[in-house]
């Protein structure tokens, strides 16, 4: 079939298998070009492994350290007349490249919040991997079913305390507009923490440790975004912010539990990037478009793979990594530099629909958004007939 992008609001409802493979190969090439990561991981579990920072973590572990990788994801399978999700095609491309390189890789496609999938992962680790020395938690989901009570919780993206009106880039209309977001109720705050906080991360580590599949000196890391004044009202001092605070709580709890193994748990704060998750958050498309313009101009812009490769080399696999006052690993220093934030803030006050291309990197934002789904590559013929049916031969059931 001929596959052209179908964009609805802030999501793309289809994906291109050839383009997704190109997106994955770019990241593999970057990691291979930077050589072996000293003292890197050998047996890695990535929870949320098919897109964004999770995918970059899996690529970095495999091609930077030669690690065995078990990827957990929840993606839509491809068929002969309908495309799979981008994460499905990303995983197929990774799997093919890893297998060709002689790297062990397996996957589980299902709901990572369930104890059933956790048990499947543990069984696979016990039978085929050996003990895990790195657990990456990079899960992004709008809802979660509590495995104990059966209650279903849904997250919201809202401020806390009072309504918040802010400039926003409407990517569907390509317009700058004001958007008002009403404050969250107490129930909405609680539900968002249940979905996006650290409870499931902690549950994964509890069950892995109880099963005896964690290695001595194992590490685990969960990813977050902290930001600064411009994004705090909707991303920091908001429902998402409360959930991120719970990640810090979980990290401390996990760290204490891993003490007998001399293990460690970190929250890593990463740079704002175009991801399927960030595209849905009010304020972020405009903020990211302005940020990209500033950071590209000064040569400090990084994508997912640069951030994660740097995290492995400068943080997780440094003998004494630098931590902030909250004990977090920080990869967002270049973004949060005072001069960068000052330039973004100045342009924020000036930007209008008429001067989007002059003041922002909207074109770069849009191109990166398309590439998340395998579109926007100049060397790919998107009018050509391609097979949508791509299978995951190593998929573990």
259-301 residue pLDDT tens:
999 999 999 999 999 887 777 777 889 999 999 999 999 999 9
Residue 292 lies in a domain: yes
- Asked if 58 contacts 106 with a C-beta cutoff of 8 angstroms, the reply is no
The whole domain housing 359 covers: 7-371
Task: Please state, in angstroms and as integers, the Cα–Cα distance from residue 200 to each residue in 30, 70, 251, 277, following that order.
Answer: 32, 18, 12, 18
Give the per-residue pLDDT at 17.
95
Strands 68-73 and 132-137: unpaired
- Report whether 250 contacts 311 (CB < 8 A): no
Over pLDDT 70: what percentage of the chain?
99
286 in a structural domain: yes
- Chain segment 353-380, per-residue pLDDT in tens: 999 999 999 999 999 999 999 999 999 9
Q: Residue 269 maps to which CATH number?
A: 3.40.50.720
Q: How confident is the model at residue 327 (pLDDT cuts 50, 70, 90)?
A: very high
**Domain-embedded: residue 270:** yes
* Domain presence at residue 157: yes
Look at residue 182 and tell me if it is in a domain.
yes
Token digits of residue 268: 């890593």
Mention every residue, 6+ apart, whose C-beta is less than 8 A from residue 12.
5, 6, 86, 369, 370, 372, 373, 375
Mean pLDDT to the nearest integer, 238-267: 96
Of 181, 142, 109, the C-alpha closest to 276 is 142
Convert the pLDDT of each residue in 173-220 to its tens digit: 889 999 898 999 999 999 999 999 999 999 999 999 999 999 999 999
**pLDDT of 9-35, one tens digit each?**
778 899 999 999 999 999 999 999 999
The DSSP letter of residue 183 is P
At 127-169, the pLDDT tens digits run 999 999 999 999 988 999 999 999 999 999 899 999 988 888 8
Catalytic residue selected from 137, 164, 235, 266: 235
Tally of domains in the chain: 1
Q: What is the DSSP string of 184-225?
A: PPHHHHHHHHHHHSSHHHHHHHHHHHHTT-EEEEEEEEEEE-
pLDDT tens for each residue of 110-124: 999 999 999 999 999
Residue 381 in any domain: the answer is no
Residue 235 designated active-site: yes
């Amino acid at each position: 079939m001929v596959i052209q992008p179908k964009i609805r609001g802030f999501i793309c409802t289809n994906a291109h298998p050839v383009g997704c493979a190109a997106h994955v190969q770019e990241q593999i090439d970057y990691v291979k070009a930077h050589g072996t990561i000293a003292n890197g991981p050998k047996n890695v579990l990535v929870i949320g492994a098919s897109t964004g920072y999770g995918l970059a973590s899996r690529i970095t572990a495999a091609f930077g350290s030669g690690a065995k990788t078990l990827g957990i994801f929840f993606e839509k399978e491809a068929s002969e007349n309908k495309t799979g999700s981008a994460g499905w095609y990303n995983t197929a491309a990774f799997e093919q490249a890893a297998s060709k390189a002689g790297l062990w890789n397996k996957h589980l496609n299902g709901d990572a919040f369930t104890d059933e999938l956790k048990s499947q992962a543990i069984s696979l680790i016990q039978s085929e991997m050996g003990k895990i020395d790195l657990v990456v938690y990079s899960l992004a989901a709008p809802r979660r079913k509590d495995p104990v009570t059966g209650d279903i919780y849904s997250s919201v993206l809202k401020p806390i305390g009072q309504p918040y009106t802010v400039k926003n880039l409407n990517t569907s209309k390509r317009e700058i507009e004001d958007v008002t977001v009403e404050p969250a109720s107490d129930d909405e705050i609680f539900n968002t923490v249940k979905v996006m906080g650290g409870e499931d991360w902690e549950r994964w580590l509890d069950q892995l440790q109880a099963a005896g599949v964690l290695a001595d000196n194992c590490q685990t890391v969960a990813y977050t975004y902290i930001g600064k004044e411009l994004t705090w009202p909707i991303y920091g001092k908001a429902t998402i912010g409360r959930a991120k605070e719970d990640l810090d709580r979980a990290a401390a709890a996990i760290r204490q539990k891993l003490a007998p193994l001399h293990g460690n748990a970190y929250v890593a704060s990463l740079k704002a990037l175009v991801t399927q998750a960030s595209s849905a958050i009010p304020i972020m498309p405009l903020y990211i478009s302005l940020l990209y313009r500033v950071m590209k101009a000064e040569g400090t812009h990084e994508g997912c793979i640069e951030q994660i490769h740097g995290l492995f080399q400068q943080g997780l696999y440094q003998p004494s990594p630098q931590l902030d006052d909250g004990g977090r690993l920080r990869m967002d220093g270049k973004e949060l530099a005072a001069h960068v934030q000052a330039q973004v803030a100045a342009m924020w006050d000036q930007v209008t629909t008429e001067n989007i291309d002059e003041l922002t990197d909207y074109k770069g934002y849009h191109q990166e958004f398309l590439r998340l789904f395998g579109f926007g590559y100049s060397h790919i013929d998107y009018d050509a007939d391609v097979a949508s049916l791509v299978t995951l031969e190593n998929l573990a059931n």
